[in-house]
Structure 1
């Protein structure tokens, strides 16, 4: 009987978790322009938004598996295009962006002309660059 009570308590705890953070977009509703809305570093309270950010940038995802990333920093505009794939994982939709050549605007932990992004529960797009001490970047449609 004691084991049954423990099992019921265990299942209750895990089945009562909120689904508020679940990704609500389907795998095709991410097409279009995603604009950088905030960036922050590893230092507490370092978030910057709008014109206070070090640069302005956006991604434009096309339905044919191609994208363009564009950044403006110190009045210099840089753009690069490439291809992307998406995977639906248990914790959301992940993007792998592949660039044809190296560029200073690729935000990657690996330096291999690839970049990874993921859709968050509040329907924003985030970069994985922060996993390796890069800035935490958040994009909105």
Structure 2
């Protein structure tokens, strides 16, 4: 009887301490808010904080997302992937959002070198990073709210 109670206690402790490092579909919806940026040119420079961001993403359980930057609203679908032991969330924009981006100038609303998608590296369960560094832009950091 003591062994059974000990096993139950031990398993409840182990299960309660488990935290996922993936912002996956089991915990949806999720909202990600811009918290800062780092230069793509200067290595090891501190993140410049942003405290009043109007820039965020909302991921829904059905695989869709909405991106808001001030008055602009874009949408599409997302998927999770792994590449070289790194985990990513990839945002793929719908046609209406691509058209809005092109009307805006093709470099302002979709932040990935003129493409129609945005990949974000999952740093941990509370932080993701998007990058414009391949086209001389900043690294953007988002926190889960």
> If the TM-score is normalised by the length of the shorter chain, which range does it land in?
0.5 to 0.7
Where structure 2 has 5 or more consecutive residues not aligned to the other structure, the ranges are 1-19, 102-107
Tell me the secondary structure at the aligned position of residue 24 of structure 1: coil
Is the CA contact 1:61–1:67 (under 8 Å) kept in the aligned structure 2?
Answer: yes
Structure 1 stretches of 4+ with a deviation exceeding 3 A read: 43-47
Match of 2:117 among 114, 117, 123: 114
What TM-score comes out, normalization by structure 1 length?
Answer: 0.66
Q: CA RMSD in A?
A: 2.5
Question: What count of residue pairs does the alignment treat as equivalent?
Answer: 112
Q: Which residue matches 2:109?
A: 105
Map 1:1-141 onto structure 2 (within 5 A). 24-25=21-22, 27-29=24-26, 31=28, 32-41=30-39, 42-43=41-42, 45=45, 47-51=47-51, 56-72=54-70, 77-100=71-94, 101-102=98-99, 103=101, 104-109=108-113, 111-121=114-124, 123-141=126-144
What TM-score comes out, normalization by structure 2 length?
Answer: 0.64
Q: Shift in Å at residue 129 of structure 1?
A: 2.3
Higher helix share: 2
Q: Shift in Å at residue 96 of structure 1?
A: 1.8
Is the CA contact 1:34–1:60 (under 8 Å) kept in the aligned structure 2?
Answer: yes
Where structure 1 has 5 or more consecutive residues not aligned to the other structure, the ranges are 1-22
Q: Shift in Å at residue 132 of structure 1?
A: 3.1
